[in-house]
Chain A
Amino acid sequence: MIKITNLNKSFGSKKVLENLNCSIKTNSIYGFVGANGAGKSTLLRIINDVFKADSGTVEIDEKNIENNQELKQKLVFIPDDLYFFPNYTLKDMAEFYNSMYKDFDMEYLKKLAETLKLDMNSKIQNFSKGMKRQCALICAICTNADYMFFDETFDGIDPVVRGLLKKIIAKQMEKKDTTIIMTSHNLRELEDICDNLALIYKGGVLFESEVSTLKTNVFKVQISLKDNFDKDTFKDLEVMNFKKIGSVATIIIKGDKEKEVEKLQALNPIILDVLPVTLEEMFVYEMEVLGYEFNQVF
């Protein structure tokens, strides 16, 4: 488990993280979302002991990460801007990881490289952006670290390989109770893989929730009633958003879907369509409930 308490970090006069608190359970995929410059990457760098926090603590498995070499064996970090030693091949990089991580699985790496059609003996600098990221990801996965941190995880990777990588990550979680921490500025990228999502805004966690809870508890309906109606007509429901165009209203409702739909049917609607809600929409509405404009956050 990762426990972050009152984390603060400034770059000069600019505050990047401000009293950030967060808990990440083991064997889950945790996603940090937020606009560029929100502090996601800085947070990951502090968790991985790349940067030092100005104040606050990061505890992993109840141990402080700072200068803790043994604990760092349990972590692997793939930053947004990748780095490979000049003229190194995937094989060379794997050997480097192998020399640094006790549990590195070289055979598995070869297998993954074959699956992803990455030439082990070609210089990485000649690879495309997506291939470079694949190299970094499979190297990280093969460390068998307990906590894997991927910053802008699938940046530059095509949808097919992205799907493949998601499977590989899922398999890794099954294999070793791994905890994956990802960041992205794109919600859609994380919605089908993350168990938990946290929104970082102005250096703090603005909103945090389990994706499953979000998905089961929030739904969208399009409704039209015989009589004239407004938002107050639905005061028995937890309405997150109400928009009415003509005689049709679109309502975002929070609560048990079946029960709430039953309540709506009791109003004898002319039209009642229950529609799926994207994670992005859920965030929009959650933010609105919290008093933020979504455009401010992203």
Chain B
Amino acid sequence: MNLTKYFNFKYLKENFKKSRGILLLITIIVPLLTLFSILFVNKPASYTKILELIEISWVNMFGMYIIPIAISFILFGYVYKKTSVDFINSMPINRKTIFITNTIGGILLITLIQILTAVTLLLSSIFIKEVMIFTGMIIDVFIIMWIAYLFMFFTANLAMTLSGTFLTQIALTMIILFIIPFCLTTFNLLRNQNVIINETYAEDDSTSIEKDNNITIMETIDNKEYTLPFDIIWNTNLSFSNTRNAKMLILGILYFCLGLYLFQKRKMENAEESFSKVKVHLFVKALTVFPLLVLVNLASESPNKFLILLIIIYYFVYDYIVRRKVKLKYSVLGLIITLAVSQGIIIGIKNYYPTNTTYRNSIEIAREEVEEVSLNFDDNSYYLREQPENDYYMKNKELIDLIFDASKKSYEFSQKVKSMDVIDGVNSMTLFYGNFKCKDGRIVRFYAEILKEDEEKFLDILAQDENFMKSIRNKYMEKSVVTFDNHVMLDIGEELELKGKNAINNMTLKEYYTLYNKESLNGYYPLYFNYYKDHNLVSLYVPINISSEVLKTIADNENEFINQNFYVGDNSKGNRFVINYGIMAGPLGYDRNNAEFSNFSGNFSYTSDLIEEFINENKNEKIDPNQKCYAIQLTGINSDYNNQRIFFTNKTEEIDAIIRKEMSFYQSINYYDKDYDQEMNYYVE
């Protein structure tokens, strides 16, 4: 078999050689900018940060829209110039060989770019001690981006076979990529919520308990998995999806075959003109304008005239750039038709699905229908981090009743209280989720919230269920969690991380296993085990009462880096004693989500001057490990301390006094008197 019929290395070499400068730039720009993004954007100043998928791949993601198209242009750009068409196509190499050779060249380049990026990430993880990148995540980024770049490249090549200018190629590439997902997603959005460009629509399920005995569960909006590595088309949330990857690969192969066929049939005389026929040119231009018109129309009740004008200007400028020979009357006629069609579609959709109407289906589950329930606790962490699902089902009528009653109560509470500050700061609700197994065999997922005041009862029921406790233990003791990555982090308001400490990892889990009890469910000392599993960064939240022995081990294993940067002045040595004695209880400011282990949750909003003055006066205080100690998280109080973050002090009474003042300011606002009174008593006693 004569392979030179399909692949001509000499031609590829010369093709690379003629553009070697730009190709070199294209090859190194993504790895280089990825490194810069880690060094100058993602690298924290004073602690080790676990980088998320998007943090290590946003440069790569933006590159995805530019680099494959640029490679396609470099390799195939000759088709856009009549002189180069004459030159290349008269050479003793046929079109099939040119297409296959250039495609292989592009694949090699993209592979090289992704290998270099992966190596950059790997080396960054090894040599930049402030960041940690899971190897699994690097492999995932490689796979996601490699496939996405190839898909973009194949799409751009397909667009090239039909285009006579580079700008037409870009327009056509975008149309091939986005027009179908755009139309379907827009339609889906209109059908479901009539809200455009509002990411909050993506909330999975919502549960409302407006009746006594029923829970209404809204069906999840079906986010179709299109191509490119995003959940929805205009979202930038990268995620790994086998479905999308498979779609991109299959479509990529299809586009390659189609491109190969069309390239052989391509009318080379169309170089320097968008398309051979004006009608096709006008149609493609209309397709580029259509999404813009729809978005502008749907974004608000009265379309922005300025934006419409800009679109019309674009409509005519497009002609000037890609095809100057279009007669004005054709262009104007095309515009009128485009406007009429898009407006007709929009009016039709708007009338058929009136604004502010939700068309999501809902399932109503009656209390009597529920036979068993499984539960998971939400750790309020970033949504990408997920806990392993607990599939232990409890056939407990008391628990089911409590879920219905407490959910209804929290729903009514949330309707009554307007300010989220009050809910967060005073009577926060615990979010949990799980599955109802109904008598008819259906399994329905639900999310619900209960108020703090009901939580105790809830935990009592759960703690009495030995099997449930065991299921939770087993969940955390999952072998893969422990062995997958030697990374453990004790959360004390901010992430304090320890790398490569097997001893601690095993010890804390062992400890946890022994000590797990009711309090642990509502534990003040959460441990986060971070690992990368099933293409997700998981931050496993383990609520635990850690013994002094564990804390001492952690403290002894702290690295110098953390010690040097974490505390203010002489406080650095005090920390170890504080941890040793496990007296972390104290005012931790700002981070409301960590209410479960901080007694005072909220800012020193009204007393910031006082707390700042206190810290300045006491920054050289020697900490006595035998005395009660408060830890204050310094966030936004004084920029000088932003990098140091935790301030320790034995002068707890002075801090209590400041807290009292802060509370009295809250009281004076008189938002929710009763709860503030309770809160005050609770803290100041």
Name A69's contact: one of B5, B17, B90 (CB within 8 Å).
Answer: B5
Smallest distance from the beta carbon of A90 to chain B beta carbons, Å? 15
CB <8 Å contact, B11 and A77: no
Question: Does B86 touch A at the CB level, under 8 Å?
Answer: yes
Name B94's contact: one of A72, A76, A86 (CB within 8 Å).
Answer: A72
Residue in B11, B82, B85, B92 whose Cβ sees the most chain A Cβ within 10 Å: B92
Question: Does A73 touch B at the CB level, under 8 Å?
Answer: yes
CB <8 Å contact, B18 and A49: no
Question: Does A51 touch B at the CB level, under 8 Å?
Answer: yes
Question: Does A126 touch B at the CB level, under 8 Å?
Answer: no
Name A88's contact: one of B13, B18, B83, B268 (CB within 8 Å).
Answer: B18
Smallest distance from the beta carbon of B428 to chain A beta carbons, Å? 65
CB <8 Å contact, B97 and A81: no
Which residues 95-126 of B sit at the A interface, judged by CB distance below 8 A? 95-97
A95 contacts across to B, CB distance below 8 A: 14
A296 contacts across to B, CB distance below 8 A: none
A100 contacts across to B, CB distance below 8 A: 10-11, 14, 91-93
- The docked-state distance in angstroms from the alpha carbon of A149 to that of B84 is 16
- The docked-state distance in angstroms from the alpha carbon of A82 to that of B264 is 24
- The docked-state distance in angstroms from the alpha carbon of A49 to that of B277 is 22
Name B82's contact: one of A11, A52, A81 (CB within 8 Å).
Answer: A81
B268 contacts across to A, CB distance below 8 A: 50-52
Which residues 73-98 of A sit at the B interface, judged by CB distance below 8 A? 73, 75-77, 79, 81-83, 85-86, 88, 92, 95-96
Question: Does B276 touch A at the CB level, under 8 Å?
Answer: yes
CB contact under 8 A between A52 and B267, given known A99-B10, A100-B11: yes
CB <8 Å contact, B90 and A48: yes
- The docked-state distance in angstroms from the alpha carbon of A211 to that of B18 is 43
Which bucket holds chain A's interface residue count?
20 to 34
Question: Does A162 touch B at the CB level, under 8 Å?
Answer: no
Question: Does B605 touch A at the CB level, under 8 Å?
Answer: no
- The docked-state distance in angstroms from the alpha carbon of A75 to that of B14 is 20
- The docked-state distance in angstroms from the alpha carbon of A50 to that of B276 is 16
CB <8 Å contact, B83 and A67: no
CB contact under 8 A between A101 and B90, given known A82-B83, A85-B18: no
Name B83's contact: one of A52, A69, A79 (CB within 8 Å).
Answer: A79
Question: Does B81 touch A at the CB level, under 8 Å?
Answer: yes
CB <8 Å contact, A83 and B86: yes
A92 contacts across to B, CB distance below 8 A: 17
Question: Does B87 touch A at the CB level, under 8 Å?
Answer: yes
CB <8 Å contact, A51 and B94: no
Question: Does B205 touch A at the CB level, under 8 Å?
Answer: no
Chain A interface (Cβ within 8 Å of chain B)?
11-12, 45, 48-52, 67-70, 72-73, 75-77, 79, 81-83, 85-86, 88, 92, 95-96, 99-101, 149
- The docked-state distance in angstroms from the alpha carbon of A76 to that of B97 is 18
B264 contacts across to A, CB distance below 8 A: 67
CB <8 Å contact, B86 and A79: yes
B10 contacts across to A, CB distance below 8 A: 99-100
Question: Does B269 touch A at the CB level, under 8 Å?
Answer: yes
Give the nearest-CB partner of A41 in chain B: B86
Smallest distance from the beta carbon of A42 to chain B beta carbons, Å? 8
Can you sample 23 A-B contacts with CB below 8 Å? A12-B276, A12-B277, A48-B90, A50-B86, A50-B90, A50-B268, A51-B267, A51-B269, A67-B94, A67-B95, A67-B264, A69-B92, A70-B92, A73-B92, A77-B90, A79-B83, A83-B84, A83-B87, A92-B17, A96-B14, A100-B11, A100-B14, A100-B92
Name B85's contact: one of A50, A68, A88 (CB within 8 Å).
Answer: A50
Which residues 344-368 of B sit at the A interface, judged by CB distance below 8 A? none
Smallest distance from the beta carbon of A6 to chain B beta carbons, Å? 20
Give the nearest-CB partner of A70 in chain B: B92
Residue in A48, A52, A70, A88 whose Cβ sees the most chain B Cβ within 10 Å: A52
Name A49's contact: one of B5, B17, B90, B269 (CB within 8 Å).
Answer: B90
- The docked-state distance in angstroms from the alpha carbon of A72 to that of B92 is 5
Smallest distance from the beta carbon of A44 to chain B beta carbons, Å? 9
CB <8 Å contact, A49 and B96: no
Give the nearest-CB partner of A81 in chain B: B83
Give the nearest-CB partner of A66 in chain B: B94
- The docked-state distance in angstroms from the alpha carbon of A45 to that of B87 is 10
- The docked-state distance in angstroms from the alpha carbon of A178 to that of B314 is 54
- The docked-state distance in angstroms from the alpha carbon of A92 to that of B265 is 31
CB <8 Å contact, A79 and B87: yes
CB contact under 8 A between A69 and B93, given known A81-B83, A85-B18, A86-B18: yes
- The docked-state distance in angstroms from the alpha carbon of A96 to that of B94 is 16
Which residues 460-489 of B sit at the A interface, judged by CB distance below 8 A? none
Question: Does B89 touch A at the CB level, under 8 Å?
Answer: yes
Give the nearest-CB partner of A100 in chain B: B91
Smallest distance from the beta carbon of A81 to chain B beta carbons, Å? 5
Smallest distance from the beta carbon of B84 to chain A beta carbons, Å? 5
B265 contacts across to A, CB distance below 8 A: 52
- The docked-state distance in angstroms from the alpha carbon of A69 to that of B95 is 9
Give the nearest-CB partner of A151 in chain B: B86
B85 contacts across to A, CB distance below 8 A: 50
Residue in B13, B81, B89, B276 whose Cβ sees the most chain A Cβ within 10 Å: B89
Mask for B482-525, Cβ within 8 A of A = 1, else 0?
A: 00000000000000000000000000000000000000000000
A-B complex: 3 closest residue pairs judged by Cβ atoms = A83-B83, A77-B90, A72-B92
CB contact under 8 A between A75 and B83, given known A88-B18, A99-B10, A99-B13: no
B277 contacts across to A, CB distance below 8 A: 12
- The docked-state distance in angstroms from the alpha carbon of A262 to that of B87 is 55
Smallest distance from the beta carbon of A212 to chain B beta carbons, Å? 30
B267 contacts across to A, CB distance below 8 A: 51-52
A73 contacts across to B, CB distance below 8 A: 92
B82 contacts across to A, CB distance below 8 A: 81
CB <8 Å contact, B90 and A75: yes
Smallest distance from the beta carbon of B277 to chain A beta carbons, Å? 8
Give the nearest-CB partner of B18 in chain A: A85
Give the nearest-CB partner of A88 in chain B: B18
CB <8 Å contact, B90 and A81: no
Which residues 5-28 of B sit at the A interface, judged by CB distance below 8 A? 5, 10-11, 13-14, 17-18
Smallest distance from the beta carbon of A148 to chain B beta carbons, Å? 11
- The docked-state distance in angstroms from the alpha carbon of A4 to that of B193 is 65
Give the nearest-CB partner of A101 in chain B: B92
